[in-house]
Structure 1
Amino acid sequence: MKLALLCSVAFLAAASPVLAADIVEPVAAMPFSWTGFYGGVQAGGGWNDSRWSGATFDSFNTNGSGGIFGGQIGYNYQINQFVIGIEGDLAGSTVKGDGQCSTALGTTCETKQDYLGSVRGRLGYAIDRILIYGDAGVAFTKYKIAEVDGFHQSFGGGSRVGWTAGLGAEYALTDHWTAGVEWNYYDFGTKSGESDTIPGFFVDNRNTENVVVGKINYKF
């Protein structure tokens, strides 16, 4: 009886460090997954380069800037550390630029943007809660192209379709909330518009834009 008791005590003494280590060792945290649907808001600024050209006047630019405010929805799918996804966004715009119309003294021409949207594919690399990505896709906007001082006239602005590409970085603040910053370049090509007051007078207008926004998303 005494021998059995002594053996039990010796076994418990030998095993106690192992048991204690198992108890106090923390459980390894699961890595963050970017897979899932998300939606959120964005705010930032845009810088537009609007180049006017035509057969009857010297070319000129109306470079402008303004605010970009809107939202986005999307879906990510993570494979190991790579993340593929798709995102759509739509934002109101106050981007506007004006300047002297060619060499016509006393005149002002203006390019004004009403909204900006896109549908983009995304490819990124995740380091746990940090995501760095590139994107590219189709872009949509609406411009007003007009002479606003001097001889007032518009030149058939309207909706435009182009392409966009950019880079971004995002950080997961919690398991559901993420925040990031994104830059995109937009190219809407050249569109020819006829004056609404002078039949046969056309203006070619080429628009490109750089946009930087901050984003906050909720991951479902």
Structure 2
Amino acid sequence: MKTVSTLAIAIFATAGLASGAMAAEEKNFDGAYAGLELGFDKMKVTGAGDANINDKSLYYGGILGYRTQMDNGLVVGVEGTLGDNSANLFENARTKHEWSTSLTLGTTITDSTLLYGKVGYAEVKNKFTPADEDSFSVTDGGWRAGVGAEFALANNISLRTGVDYTRYDSNLKQWQGKAAVVFNF
């Protein structure tokens, strides 16, 4: 988590310094937006009996948010995600879905390129299906941090790539590398 925190602080500091020297001509990262994301998910559970559990899976989900791009290129916003990775945590346990909400801060380095960081809260629902019992679900929440870049293709569509790290209240840790198509309204 220290690496993610250090990286986030460096991006925010760079954003603050760069935004003062730049005036945005176009506001490609302003207003409401929605998108679809796809990526790689790695979940790790430590202290689970005699063995640690590592699961790698495909992540897919949606994004919904709102942001404001200031004249100096600074971009602030809030976004939410809802997705699924269907990770295998134990023999009879899988993740069902996850959601998150985050505050975002970034800066435009050109009219069509945004560098951003985010900090927020995420929750994952895990479904357990023991062989001799009824299935049940457990919800686990934790803090999420992420960094990324977004590239405007036109005034209303952009491509995004980023990495998120989440540490849940249990011994569950999650890394996600994602790419997304974002539509601005």
For 2:142, which of 151, 162, 171 is the aligned residue?
162
Q: Which runs of 4+ in 1 moved over 6 A?
A: 153-156
Indicate yes or no: 2:128 matched with 1:136: no
Verify the 8 A CA contact 1:113 1:142 in the aligned structure 2.
yes
Task: Give the length in aligned residue pairs.
Answer: 160
Task: Give the Å deviation of 1:110.
Answer: 5.0
Q: Does 1:50 align with 2:50?
A: no
Q: Which residue of 1 aligns with 2:61?
A: 70
Give 1:26's aligned residue: none
1:218 paired to 2:178: no
Contact residue 123 and residue 140 of structure 2 kept, 8 A: yes
In the alignment, is the contact (CA less than 8 A) between 1:62 and 1:111 conserved in 2?
no
Structure 2 unaligned blocks of 5 or more: 1-24
> Judging changes above 3 Å, is the alpha-carbon distance between structure 1 residues 207 and 153 closer, same or farther for their aligned structure 2 residues?
farther
Structure having the higher Rg: 1
Whole-Å separation in 1 of the counterparts to 2:78 and 2:114? 14
1:116 equivalent in alignment to 2:115: no
Higher relative contact order (CA 8 A, sep 6+): 2
Contact in 2 for aligned 1:110/1:147 (Cα 8 Å): yes
SS for the counterpart of 1:63 is strand
Q: Is the 8 A contact 1:71 1:89 kept in 2?
A: yes
Q: CA separation in 1, counterparts of 2:119 and 2:135?
A: 30
Q: Secondary structure at the match of 1:173?
A: strand
1:25-44 correspondence to structure 2 within 5 Å? 30-44=25-39
TM-score by length of 2: 0.77
- Within the candidate set 173, 188, 194, 2:153 is matched to 173
- Percent of aligned pairs with the same amino acid: 25
RMSD of aligned Cα (Å): 2.3
Q: Choose from 169, 172, 184 the match for 1:189.
A: 169
